[in-house]
A and B are shown apart, each in its own frame.
Chain A
Amino acid sequence: MKHRFTIFALIVLALLSYALYQALVVAPTEQTMGDVQRIFYYHVPSAWTAFLLFFINFLASIWYLVQRKPAADIVALTTAEVGTVFCTVVLVTGPLWARPVWGIWWTWDVRLTSTLVLWLIYVSYLILRRFSTGSQTPVLAAALAIFGFVDVPIVYLSIWFFRTQHPQPVMGGGGSLDPRMWHALLINWLAFLAFALLVCSIRYRLEFLQRELEETQALESLLEPKP
């Protein structure tokens, strides 16, 4: 167990360094934006990783409601936590790029706004988990996770229509990406995914031990009443 973890951590480290090299050195400099564009190799992979983790959170929540396995609940908790962190990275790196390129930090564009709403939904999920007590937390959290996931397409649709009515500066779609840029992007995504998996597994283990500890303590206090 310990060996496997160390090996996996080393692989992730190697992948992340290789991806960093690809993004900062190998990928060509973008013509109009210059080096600022390189933030793209962190921004986009973080977004994809966050969306994937939220999707796993949804599946784990359903799995928990159907089978009531504690493992499903721990998976839901860890993916929501790590996904929120990656979503935060997306929301922070976005404005850093937008300021020099668009001249503004933020615009209520459909992608920006729906990512922000997604972030709000999962933060509220984590707050609910923090504030609810006792053994019913997993059920309540799983129900909220399903609501949140069902809400996402409606959010996207509504903001998309909202924005087409009120034209705003939006990011330039279209155009083709240099193959080396694609390469750097995909390598970075792979590295970020592996990193997310690593963090999730650490968090999973931690939560698992925490719960075991709590159970043992509860059992002990039942068995040996203190004088």
Chain B
Amino acid sequence: MSRLAEITVATLSKDLRLEWRSKDAINSMLFFALLVVVIFSFAFNPTAEESRRIAGGLVWVAFLFAAVVALNQTWARELRNQVLDAYRVSPAPDNALFLAKAIGNFLFVAVLEALMTPLFVVFYNLRALGPAYQLLLVAAFGTWALVVNGTFFAAISLRTRSREVMLPLILFPISIPALLAMVEATTAILTGEFSARFWIVLLAVYDVVFTTVCLVLFETVLHAE
């Protein structure tokens, strides 16, 4: 166990350091999300009351699209100099690699969300009428739901032709219930009309189920020949 944790931390800190120096993923995600915010604002031109109703959808669709940008770069970095092949033959536990990548993506998307949320609040005049602290739970569970499957599917789409296109095509259908839960929970909290509890529990269940499936199947997919 400690070995798994050790290698996870080592890989994670390597990825974070690389990202800190290049800022590839975070910059492209940020700019992409900003574009989505502006374009949605033109497309819908909502009043304060309307935007409270549609903001949940807008926010999460923007984050979902932006997250795909980061997820696509997850494994591409390891292809240079055959790093992934070296990892495959090394005795390091495979799940350590997966966990490090998933946690790394989680942190990138979390930073993106922290930076973009104020912009959303300003551009759409948002104010939560429900318990706002629950938004933190929704953000944490929702982001993990996106990145855990996204990291796994990025490893799958890595082996296909036109891999950048492939990732959203296989990730979005599976993510539909998670996306629905995030949007509904956010809308519930912003409008204060109904409780978000069911959706938060559903997100937690989704996280637990798919984290388990990912950890069980990752070794198979990594070593697929």
Contacts and interface: CB of A to CB of B under 8 A. Distances in A.
Contacts of B172: 120, 124
Interface string B151-179: 01100110111100010011011101100
Contacts of A136: 159, 224-225
B204 to A, nearest CB: 12
Given A133-B160, A136-B224, A151 B180 contact: no
A146 B215 CA distance: 13
Contact of B170 (A128, A135, A158, A159): A128
Interface in A150-179: 150-151, 154-155, 157-159, 161-162, 165
Interface residues on B, range: 20 to 34
Interface centre among A127, A133, A147 (most CB of B within 10 A): A147
A117 interface: yes
Interface SS of chain A: helix
A143 interface: yes
Interface string B200-225: 00100110011001000100110011
Contacts of A127: 166, 169-170
Nearest to A139: B224
Contacts of A157: 177, 202
B87 interface: no
Contacts of A144: 153, 156, 170
Contacts, number: 93
Contact of B213 (A131, A147, A158, A159): A147
A158 B180 contact: yes
A108 to B, nearest CB: 11
Interface string A101-124: 000000000000000010011011
Contact of A154 (B169, B177, B198): B177
A131 B220 CA distance: 19
Given A128-B160, A154-B177, A159-B180, A143 B220 contact: yes
Contacts of B221: 139-140, 143
B220 A120 contact: no
A83 interface: no
Interface residues of A, number: 32
Contacts of B181: 158
A155 B177 contact: yes
B114 to A, nearest CB: 27
Contacts of A45: none
A132 interface: yes
Nearest to B165: A131
Given A144-B170, A150-B209, A117 B176 contact: yes
Interface in B43-77: none
Contacts of B186: none
A98 interface: no
A121 B177 contact: no
- Indicate the member of A121, A144, A158 with the most B CB atoms within 10 Å: A158
B74 to A, nearest CB: 16
Nearest to A136: B224
A148 B184 CA distance: 22
A131 B166 contact: yes
A148 B153 CA distance: 12
B95 interface: no
Nearest to B183: A162
Given A139-B221, A148-B173, 10 more contacts: A127-B170, A128-B157, A128-B160, A132-B159, A135-B225, A143-B220, A154-B209, A158-B177, A158-B181, A161-B202
Which 7 pairs, one residue from A and one from B, show the smallest C-beta to C-beta distance? A139-B224, A136-B224, A158-B177, A120-B173, A132-B160, A131-B160, A121-B173
Interface of A: 65, 117, 120-121, 123-125, 127-128, 131-136, 139-140, 143-144, 146-148, 150-151, 154-155, 157-159, 161-162, 165
